[in-house]
Structure 1
């Protein structure tokens, strides 16, 4: 059984002339750009058949052009020197984050000029007055848009040792795009924004600039949890589900987790997460080689969530039903698409 597409415009399955979501992101050129800089900034226009699903250079900046809030500069986290850190951290802005930002902004807006190619279901994507948690935030674009859109409280997290925290990239993005804009013509946001270090699957959060030091005030529950392109490590799928189950406030109507992930690391990896979270689509890749402890952890969380909505969306905003397996799909075709799911507790 696959959940049906929820409230999508009927004319979305169409061809588009430009890649809408990536075109909102640009890397500002240096004052005296070199040939390589100009070439890199024009890649999406030169190679139109190749979908650009990551943006920016580690340690530098990009600008996201929001339909309602204008230019939003984003500091990209630095690249760790330690190899193990490269496995844990994503040092780019990914299309999943851009799509999540679009959904949140458009569903939360009362401005008719803020439009999207998708009719995002406001029961879930409208974040006004809600408490939000973002995991593996990186640039934290969806959290920034949530704060600007009127969320009551936004908690931004990344791994406690991530350069996004230790080098202050996330805090800089919050300061420039939320704190310094509050009360301006762009926004009347009064959101409370917190930044913490957090390890998936645990129940404690840490101060962003003090690796290992607990935050004095621990958040309890949230109405919305944002997970954008955090599924590339299968070993962390159970931990991600643990976090959703622990922090999602099931007493609140329509409390949910937004899970978006591109297929650039493979459809099988993404499918594996939903097999664990929902207990569905398990015919193909049943786990059979885990040790006893891993089996016990898996059984404790598997199938405790369900997809209120799940579909695939490409860089142009074209939507199609989610399929766990697409016969004949190659890597180049797969990387065009991002799965977009709303998960709720059963």
Structure 2
């Protein structure tokens, strides 16, 4: 969508495996009806925290927006994810990272990503955080909330990070 809306450059990234990247490339190609937009959109693999790959060495602090969806379900990868967000996000007061995760794996997993000291150590802080229902209703984020399993699966958490 960013490519179609005029972004100068878009890198769609996922785990560096052709099994994952091939379908991503195919989906983007089908969705890019405008040739110009397609030239600005690339697909590249990146393993969170691995900051010595081609993408990482070329694009350190290169993006004014970093968007990551469905990435908070593996708490053992949160340190690596935070490092990658810091690495790619521009060192600019206007730069923002949007992190979106579904509550299907529980609030505790998400809350671990929000470690204030870990974020602060990377020069990041939470600007906004809220919950959005699949039907559009919004509410404040709560680390602890009585959700039944069926209802919890209908909510997303949206986190906006900015530079400190």
TM-score, normalization by structure 1: 0.43
Runs of 4+ in 1 over 4 A off after TM superposition: 299-303
1:303 deviation in Å? 7.0
Pick aligned residue for 2:20 from 148, 158, 164: 164
SS at match of 2:16: coil
Q: Is contact 1:150-1:191 (8 Å) kept?
A: no
TM-score, normalization by structure 2: 0.88
Structure 1 residue 271 and structure 2 residue 114: aligned? no
Alignment partners' CA distance in 1, 2:31 and 2:94: 28
Write out per-residue CA displacement over residues 180-201 of structure 1, whole angstroms, 9 at most, x where no aligned residue.
x116xxxx73761121111101
Alignment partners' CA distance in 2, 1:271 and 1:307: 12
Pick aligned residue for 1:340 from 153, 158, 163: 158
1:341 deviation in Å? 1.3
Larger % of helix: which?
A: 2
Larger % of strand: which?
A: 2
Number of the residue aligned with 1:148: 4
Cα distance, 1:262–1:157 mapped onto 2, change above 3 Å: same
Number of the residue aligned with 2:139: 320
Number of the residue aligned with 2:88: 247
Alignment partners' CA distance in 2, 1:302 and 1:331: 34
Structure 1 residue 235 and structure 2 residue 95: aligned? no
Q: What are the ranges of 5 or more consecutive residues in structure 1 without an aligned counterpart?
A: 1-144, 206-213, 280-298
Q: More relative contact order in 1 or in 2 (CA 8 Å, sep 6+)?
A: 2
Number of the residue aligned with 1:310: 129
Cα distance, 1:204–1:274 mapped onto 2, change above 3 Å: same
Would you say how many aligned residue pairs link Structure 1 and Structure 2?
Answer: 162
Alignment partners' CA distance in 1, 2:130 and 2:50: 29
Q: Is contact 2:83-2:122 (8 Å) kept?
A: no
1:17-36 matched pairs, under 5 angstroms: none
Alignment partners' CA distance in 2, 1:150 and 1:263: 31
Number of the residue aligned with 1:222: 63
Q: Could you say what the CA RMSD is over the residues aligned between the two structures, in angstroms?
A: 2.2
Pick aligned residue for 1:173 from 15, 23, 27: 27
Alignment partners' CA distance in 2, 1:191 and 1:151: 11
Alignment partners' CA distance in 1, 2:120 and 2:17: 26
1:218 deviation in Å? 2.5
Indicate the structure (1 or 2) with the bigger Cα radius of gyration: 1
Number of the residue aligned with 1:261: 101
